[in-house]
Structure 1
């Protein structure tokens, strides 16, 4: 056992600290994002909301989240990922804890609080990309982004299961106080173990620095951002649309999966929380599989462009087929299987479009990803709110699933035709 521990520690590098800390930040981010997806069931009963109103509450978060995407990338580029990510976690954790008080005070204050919570969370991914831009060797990009991306489904699982259990035993308000406190614990480790760039870390070895910069020059913190190139290149627009279509299905599941299991299959709040966690557990496994497979295919000589388009297509087409199959499902167990398939296959997109900003704009990846994630956040408003309206009007989730599948199929086509992995932005 001592030999195993010694071998593990000897292989552990300073860049791994960054990956793990960023991943834990994303876990907390998604816990605080999805807890309301379960808590809103008793909140809806207490405050007398219809599904359209419930959709507005769920969608309001994404207004702030979208606003901060580009701005978060700019701030991270200027001040460094350490400062921006640390500040973001504290900000959104505070508004998570304030949610019950705002909800009781008034509906407008709840909406404002959700927007501000989204504003804090919106800086998290661009700030993490700023860290990865400096810390991750090109040969480890896909697996690093995949590891980081597992924070989303893992946080969702913890949020869904934990929220269902806490609400059942202690009430919906406690969920926000309990999970909101996690960010204040995380910041202690972030301040102690993170550095914006390898050159700032006094504990890093020369060998690790050599590995990190073997395939790239050290990137200066303050660079002129090529805004015109971001919006005039067809492959960038293909990337925007890939993000939009991928996230449409993701946000549909984040916001509405517990309600779907409750409304359509008659699950209790606790059952809905546990059942909704299963697809996200599948996603955790498949994100890792996709990341490992992607790096292996590239290492064996497959074209980077071919591999990026392959995994993006597997994710979008596969999830679309599962959503269409769900239209004919009446058994609760098969509904869980279909949703597991949809999110499990969608996981492949996180080795596709999410890595692509590092391919085409390595010096400006955090800013470009902020723009990409702005496009990817639009469904957080449109998909979440529109689903509530569709459910009210049709008394069914079928139209919402068909719409998501249509977007996914078109996204696979556009990214395959126009996407690239060449460095087109300097």
Structure 2
């Protein structure tokens, strides 16, 4: 970019060069929609414990620290599983890996239909987490086999929307089951939905034609993993998304409980309020995907159209969340809690495409998985921290406010790190010791080979 903020000639040339590389194959959007539903089920599975938090704590007589442990248990094997499966999809078709993951999700829900102990619930959540750990990275890797680099931001946003819609659509239905029947049946309903997706994927799911996994593994020039994993853009993506996922994991585990116990709403009302962050977040995700793709088409470098676009909302969101304890009235507190963490959604849209810019396609599955495994470590820490802070505070409300303030500080710090480190448009040339960054952009080097 020039000093005036307009795209340079080099930037425009890069955009034109990228835009003529490959066409989107027929069937790409059908698979994208199925993977959107895949992510929808994924997040519905995640939210159910947080949504049923108060009934679960009441029935099983759990303290806040124990419930925090339950929320964290989902992530015990999450990262390990993500890394292992990430290397598997470098060589195995994503179609069958996705099918296996969905079967695990469904089967992990059914034990909760009957009377369960805290230990059984804990084990089932650990198993579910192991099945869901690789989900996002494998789904992204699968959809990138259908779209060239310059067209990946929008499908990435759509996949990210699966998380929001998984909550928006699931919360009213699951909460109705919880209020009118039992939290046990909410788990069973999710198991059935998971099996329905498995059947649909068996019929319509296909492997993308733009990349042949086996051919790429045998012929593509590799970059040493140590170079990929220590690149500043990879580190920036991990740092930025770590803060965003801290907010998300608190939303999954503690948001509904805060609305009931901290703000005094009923379980029925809390179910509807719990939708608001996801509606707002869905808007942010779609806008980010659209704006990013428009900026790239107009010649902006991916440093601006992805790196800056994803990092700045994190910082702003953290500042908004930091004001929540000090605003008057319940309504304003809810607004701050919705808007602040909701802005984090931007980073999920831009980081996978940024990593795809400089990672060889035959290594992309592993890199996306390791990225996911590292940033989701905050999912282990955040629910436990909140539970500990609540239990050791003078009052429940004070505990929640302290926990959300910690979240705000982490969001601001991670956003600043992202702003500092995310330079994907120069990363590939540096990693391959290719031409200087300006010359690389003129040659369209920001597009993966």
* TM-score normalised by L of structure 1: 0.88
SS of the residue corresponding to residue 371 of structure 1 reads helix
411, 417, 422: which one aligns with 2:420: 417
Q: Which runs of 5+ in 2 are unaligned?
A: 1-23, 433-449
SS of the residue corresponding to residue 195 of structure 1 reads coil
SS of the residue corresponding to residue 291 of structure 2 reads helix
Aligned equivalents of 2:173, 2:312: Cα separation in 1: 31
Q: Which runs of 4+ in 1 moved over 3 A?
A: 216-219, 221-226
SS of the residue corresponding to residue 344 of structure 2 reads helix
The correspondence of residues 78-227 of structure 1 with structure 2, limited to 5 A, is: 78-101=91-114, 104-198=115-209, 220-221=216-217, 226-227=224-225
Once the two structures are overlaid, the 10-residue window that deviates more, 17-26 or 158-167, is 158-167
User: 1:206 corresponds to which residue?
Assistant: none
The correspondence of residues 6-405 of structure 1 with structure 2, limited to 5 A, is: 13-101=26-114, 104-198=115-209, 220-221=216-217, 226-363=224-361, 364-394=363-393, 395=395, 396-405=399-408
Question: Offset of 1:107 from its aligned partner?
Answer: 2.4
Question: Offset of 1:161 from its aligned partner?
Answer: 2.2
Equivalent residues, number = 399
Aligned equivalents of 1:362, 1:245: Cα separation in 2: 27
Aligned equivalents of 2:204, 2:270: Cα separation in 1: 38
- Deviation track 1:136-187 (CA, whole Å, cap 9, x = no partner) reads 1212111110011000111122332222211111111110111111111111
* TM-score normalised by L of structure 2: 0.84
Once the two structures are overlaid, the 10-residue window that deviates more, 221-230 or 360-369, is 221-230
- CA RMSD, Structure 1 to Structure 2 (Å): 2.2
Aligned in 2, Cα 1:425/1:167: closer, same or farther, shift over 3 Å? farther
Aligned equivalents of 1:41, 1:162: Cα separation in 2: 17
Aligned equivalents of 2:345, 2:69: Cα separation in 1: 27
Contact 1:142 1:295 in 2 (8 A): yes
Contact 2:253 2:383 in 1 (8 A): yes
Question: Offset of 1:132 from its aligned partner?
Answer: 2.2
Aligned in 2, Cα 1:21/1:250: closer, same or farther, shift over 3 Å? same
Structure number with higher helix proportion? 1
Aligned equivalents of 2:323, 2:274: Cα separation in 1: 18
Aligned in 2, Cα 1:278/1:232: closer, same or farther, shift over 3 Å? closer
Aligned equivalents of 1:235, 1:99: Cα separation in 2: 41
Aligned equivalents of 1:332, 1:97: Cα separation in 2: 37
Aligned equivalents of 2:338, 2:371: Cα separation in 1: 26
Question: Offset of 1:64 from its aligned partner?
Answer: 2.2
User: 2:5 corresponds to which residue?
Assistant: none
Aligned equivalents of 2:197, 2:58: Cα separation in 1: 34
Question: Offset of 1:105 from its aligned partner?
Answer: 4.1
User: 1:408 corresponds to which residue?
Assistant: 411
- Deviation track 1:241-263 (CA, whole Å, cap 9, x = no partner) reads 12211211111112111011112
Aligned equivalents of 1:12, 1:164: Cα separation in 2: 40
Contact 1:97 1:177 in 2 (8 A): yes
Aligned in 2, Cα 1:106/1:169: closer, same or farther, shift over 3 Å? closer
SS of the residue corresponding to residue 354 of structure 1 reads helix
Aligned equivalents of 2:339, 2:202: Cα separation in 1: 39
Aligned equivalents of 2:360, 2:156: Cα separation in 1: 14
Q: Which runs of 5+ in 1 are unaligned?
A: 1-10, 199-211
Once the two structures are overlaid, the 10-residue window that deviates more, 159-168 or 48-57, is 159-168
Aligned equivalents of 1:158, 1:62: Cα separation in 2: 24
